[in-house]
Amino acid sequence: MNSPEIKQFIRKNSNLFWHIPEDRKEEISHELLIETILNFGDMNATLQLFKILGIDEVAKLFFNSIAISNRRKGNYQELTINFFTLVFKKYAH
């Protein structure tokens, strides 16, 4: 279950989750939240995500997700993978 802060963040960025029914948006997984924000969110949304979950947690879930399978890795755009791999290697510990 997501915290009230995460639910508010999802509502604020609701347009990015257009493919999810309204009544289920606030209960998406952290993995889907991270995938959507990193792929389609703007800089403000990305920084807010880091603030809410912590950059280390976002990095951990990002790397776990792309390591699971080629299909899961394919959910991220190539440029997104490259950029955030560099960001996380530099700033996440």
Residue-by-residue pLDDT tens, the chain, 93 positions: 899 999 999 999 999 999 999 999 999 999 999 999 999 999 999 999 999 999 999 999 999 999 987 877 788 999 999 999 999 999 998
- What's the confidence (pLDDT) of residue 64? 94
What pLDDT, on a 0 to 100 scale, did the predictor assign at position 62?
96
Q: Within a 10 A sphere around the Cβ of 37, how many other Cβ atoms?
A: 22
In angstroms, the Cα distances linking 65 to 14, 40, 44, 62, 88 are: 22, 17, 23, 5, 14
Please tell me the predicted confidence (pLDDT) of residue 93.
Answer: 84
Task: Give this prediction's pTM.
Answer: 0.91
